[in-house]
Amino acid sequence: MNPWVLLTFAVATEVTATLALRASDGFKRPLFSVIVVVGYGISFWLLGLILRDLPSGVVYAVWSGFGIAIITIAGRFLFHDRLPLVAIGGIALILVGILAINLSGAGSH
């Protein structure tokens, strides 16, 4: 399977696990606790597969950067987290950085 598609799934499972971590209330809610463990497990397994084909710096930048952006936005809507204008600017810079890394050609092995 295309490593970029796998990376999309890795980001999705990491985001799901992180949001479930917040919802688990310190692992007091069993369903969310299981989602945390399974989600992170799948995400790291996918990262291992992806690293066969893509450079680790690019993979980690995309995985963590998109994860940060999506979790921050989701946290705002799901948990009513504060999202100051400076944080929005920071997320925009992260996304620009991911774009710059990929446009630089660093995404090819």
pLDDT in tens, 13-57: 999 999 999 999 999 999 999 999 999 999 999 999 999 999 998
User: What is the C-alpha separation between 20 and 40, in angstroms, rounded?
Assistant: 10
Q: Assign 108 a pLDDT band (cuts: 50, 70, 90).
A: low
| Mean pLDDT taken over the chain | 93
User: What is the C-alpha separation between 89 and 77, in angstroms, rounded?
Assistant: 18
Closest to 23 measured CA to CA, from 34, 13, 10: 34
pTM: 0.88
Please give the residue that has the higher pLDDT: either 103 or 87. 87
Positive or negative, the CA dihedral 106, 56, 5, 77 is: negative
pLDDT at res. 103? 83
Q: Assign 92 a pLDDT band (cuts: 50, 70, 90).
A: very high
Does residue 15 contact residue 67 with C-beta atoms inside 8 Å? yes
Does residue 6 contact residue 49 with C-beta atoms inside 8 Å? yes
